[in-house]
A and B are shown apart, each in its own frame.
Chain A
Amino acid sequence: MLSRTADHLFWMARYMERAENTARMLDVNYQTSLLPQSTDAAEQGWRGLLSICELMPAFEAKYGKEVRARDVMNFMVRDESNPSSIACCLHAARENARAVRGTLTTEVWETQNQTWLEFGRLLRDGAFEKDPSEFYEWVKFRSHLSRGVTVGTMLQDESLNFIRIGTFLERADNTARLLDVKFSELPATPPHDGADAADSEETDFYHWSALLRSVSGFMIYRKVYRSLIRSDRVAELLILRADMPRSLMACMNEVVLNLELVANEQSAETLRSAGRLRADLQYGRIDEILQAGLHEFLEQFLDRVNNLGAGIGRDFLVPVAA
């Protein structure tokens, strides 16, 4: 298939996934902000969200030093000057789809197009102001629909492989960023005994359950661990569990699987680094990761994912040499 086509498919999927993850993060922060908490804590949540996306400077330039929920939500949902806003992501996803609409099934293209058209209508009709949660839910479901239609209608050839690689590379990146911020707000603590820290335990519960909910992982946690919510298990679930669909492990499994299917003469090195990243997760242990420092681990992971993206670009999407 054309390299440019693969490039558009890859980015179509990435932007759609990014829109979904942004909606997830916004929703969980918004829900948390409805709980009784100090102004500082609320602001910290919104700051965290902006720093996940590396958008603090851009936000401050536009809205000033004070971080208000309404401003952050507007900035992240509808602001066309913010390339990470849901508006920009959905538009980019749709434009990428339009550029290769002939490669997509009618259903996939119409889903992308309809999402973009409806997004504009919902914003104009004030649906976002009326009920932000409902709106975020809509974004998530459009992304579910987009993935479902893709898997349900596309021929299982390279087109689908590059779409899947885009989706899971983006998701790996987003989950890692989310973990990094949430664990820097409230560092992982060893399980403590006794009831002396009841207050902090309560805070912890809401903190970690919010993180789990943002990745649809709350019920999954209960099911897997049948136990109290503890930060080390949260980390394990989102990093190492291959059966948790938004974990780094699950994402890398998909990336490697699809990369192997599209391998070409020049892609050996990219496949090797992808396989190695997966192996590190597969044979990793959460206590070792936490001991060595979660932040360092995640930072390194993001670097490696980033390099992997660059390698995929070089080998398949925008080949330099003729």
Chain B
Amino acid sequence: MTTGFDEMHAADGSVRPHYRTFAEWLAKQSDDVMRDQRDEAEMIFRRVGITFAVYGLKDEDGAGTERLIPFDLIPRVIPRDEWREMRAGLRQRVMALNRFLHDVYHGQEILKAGIVPSEQVLNNAQYRPEMMGVDLPEGVYSHIAGIDMVRAPAPDGSGAYYVLEDNLRVPSGVSYMLENRKMTMRLFPELFGLNRVAPVAHYPDLLLETLRDVAPAGVDDPTVVVLTPGMYNSAYFEHAFLAQQMGVELVEGQDLFAQDGFVYMRTTQGPKRVDVIYRRVDDDFLDPTAFRPDSTLGCAGLLEVYRRGNVNLCNAIGTGIADDKSIYPYVPKMIEFYLGERPILNNVPTHMCRDPEALRYTLAHLNELVVKEVHGAGGYGMLVGPAATKVEIEAFRKQLQANPSNYIAQPTLSLSTCPTYVASGIAPRHIDLRPFVLSGKSVQMVPGGLTRVALKQGSLVVNSSQGGGTKDTWVLEN
């Protein structure tokens, strides 16, 4: 047994109640059957083309740059009550973050009140002055939010959930959540007779409802599209999948053009007006006339139409100011400020290295801490102290000292583990959870989210670009 918190087994080795039917079932499955099912799953994922592209790599057989994300057969199970509390916390947090974004781009009350330091916001590269005073439908900025949750052992032996980071720009992974469930149901239908697992397959419906909710005023039957950077983007499968599931067009920048204050797409029957764009393209690439001029992924003139309110973008431009790691420590205070409520979800204690005291502490404890770039993502540009070599730590120390305000440091949480198939059999591996929170006229989500698992022993990095896998995530209804 590990010293941390395991989702299936209690410290004394006994199976936790919510995993009991699953563990009994698993004990009856032969190794051969489970191995066959793993092969079957991989075969199906490949045939269906559920792959992600890896930049700059070539497959061993030269077949291109498409990789499978390893799918683990053992689900991550969440008891009903835990999910209910998490759901309330997620709703609260995302509502406050949207209020914060609206405030930052309007009256800036929270800066005036001195709760978030002005310079942290106004001098931040993620702050978009173009958005000042722009009114968005329902006042929503982050329509699709992916909140990364982890669990660490609490002193009383239970596991406490923490929010590790908020993803408010273009969070991905929801297609894996849906495909993983389909796969488990296909491989082990009997499990769904033994457990009452809350369904997730209606996510695309909720997403479409959310996108239609935030159409420009006066549009009764809005045309919604998904904007993708194209088929060589690492999340292309997901873009195509969501467009198909919602029954809307999957467009690229070249399919769109702005004219006379509106955005149109080029169709075989001539131009057709577009009202809501679920864009999976970063802010910088959305409009070459407003942001990066070398971008071929966007649509010239889009920002102007957007500012006029004749098209809506999901998520909004400029949401990065709220999920920046230098803003993260202030989220609990935002919840109190905007909603007058006590935060339900925990933040991880965070040292902001721009503060000399925090920097001193961080430099003295590099071998214990996780240090991250404030704008980083995908597990790149971070140091996991306990897992790093002396050489790595010293190299990182220099980077940190050269530009302290670019970093934050957090205690290394012992992420909870879940039994996982590895080469030698079943072994505990660290996991996290990304629920997807949708905000339109109301805040909605499907139970659970995407569970990512670090397949390397002891590793805390769950990102798919760094060898992470995924699991089906069950929220039990009883």
Interface residues of A (CB under 8 A from B): 1-6, 95, 98-103, 106, 109-110, 113-114, 117, 120, 124, 158, 162, 262, 264-265, 316-317, 319, 322
Contact = CB atoms under 8 A, between A and B. Distances in A.
A91 to B, nearest CB: 9
B240 interface: yes
B381 interface: no
B270 A265 contact: yes
A45 to B, nearest CB: 32
Contacts of A4: 251-252, 254-255, 266
21 contacts: A1-B249, A1-B267, A2-B267, A3-B255, A3-B267, A4-B254, A4-B266, A98-B231, A101-B240, A101-B244, A102-B243, A103-B250, A110-B47, A110-B48, A113-B47, A113-B49, A120-B61, A120-B63, A124-B61, A264-B269, A264-B270
B267 A98 contact: no
Contact of A101 (B49, B249, B264): B49
A98 B268 contact: no
Given A101-B240, A101-B244, A109-B49, A262 B63 contact: no
* A-B interface, 6 closest residue pairs, ranked by CB to CB distance from nearest: A102-B244, A102-B240, A102-B243, A316-B268, A3-B266, A101-B240
A95 B264 CA distance: 26
B50 to A, nearest CB: 10
Contacts of B231: 95, 98-99
B268 A3 contact: yes
A102 B48 CA distance: 12
A204 B243 CA distance: 56
A24 B251 CA distance: 37
B271 interface: yes
A317 B266 CA distance: 9
B250 A102 contact: yes
Interface in B241-269: 241, 243-244, 249-252, 254-255, 257, 259, 264-269
B268 A158 contact: yes
B259 A322 contact: yes
B255 A2 contact: yes
Nearest to A315: B268
Interface centre among B49, B61, B230, B236 (most CB of A within 10 A): B49
Contacts of B230: 99
B147 to A, nearest CB: 27
A322 B46 contact: no
Given A2-B255, A3-B266, A322 B47 contact: no
B47 A5 contact: no
A165 B231 CA distance: 24
B459 to A, nearest CB: 30
B261 to A, nearest CB: 14
B271 A98 contact: no
A100 B270 CA distance: 19
A2 B227 CA distance: 12
Interface in B374-390: none
Given A98-B231, A117-B47, A262 B268 contact: yes
Contacts, number: 71
B272 to A, nearest CB: 9
B268 A6 contact: yes
B243 A264 contact: no
Interface in B261-298: 264-271
B249 A2 contact: yes
A316 B265 CA distance: 13
A96 B455 CA distance: 34
Contacts of A113: 47-49
Interface centre among A3, A109, A265, A319 (most CB of B within 10 A): A3
A5 B252 CA distance: 10
Interface of B: 46-49, 61, 63, 230-231, 236, 240-241, 243-244, 249-252, 254-255, 257, 259, 264-271
Contacts of B48: 106, 110, 113
Contacts of A322: 257, 259, 264, 266, 271
A257 B48 CA distance: 33
Contacts of A124: 61
Contacts of B63: 117, 120
Contacts of A2: 249, 251, 255, 265-268
Contacts of B236: 98
Contacts of A262: 268
A316 B269 CA distance: 8
Nearest to A317: B268
A6 B241 CA distance: 18
Contacts of A265: 270
Interface centre among B46, B250, B267, B268 (most CB of A within 10 A): B268
Interface centre among A6, A102, A162, A265 (most CB of B within 10 A): A102
Nearest to A159: B268
Contacts of B49: 98, 101, 109-110, 113
Contacts of A110: 47-49
Nearest to B225: A2
Contacts of B61: 120, 124
Contacts of A109: 49
A5 B249 contact: yes
A104 to B, nearest CB: 9
B268 A117 contact: no
Contact of A264 (B46, B252, B259, B268): B268
Contacts of B243: 102
Contacts of A114: 47
Contacts of B241: 102
Contacts of A101: 49, 240, 244
Given A101-B49, A113-B49, 17 more contacts: A1-B249, A2-B249, A4-B251, A6-B268, A99-B231, A100-B250, A102-B250, A103-B244, A110-B49, A113-B47, A117-B63, A262-B268, A264-B269, A316-B268, A317-B268, A322-B257, A322-B264
Contacts of B244: 101-103
A160 to B, nearest CB: 13
B248 to A, nearest CB: 9
A98 B237 CA distance: 9
Nearest to B251: A2
Nearest to B243: A102
A317 B269 CA distance: 10
Contacts of A5: 249-250
Contacts of B259: 322
A272 to B, nearest CB: 18
Contacts of B267: 1-3
A117 B254 contact: no
Nearest to B231: A99
A1 B268 contact: yes
Contacts of A319: 266
Contacts of A103: 244, 250
Nearest to B237: A101
B65 to A, nearest CB: 12
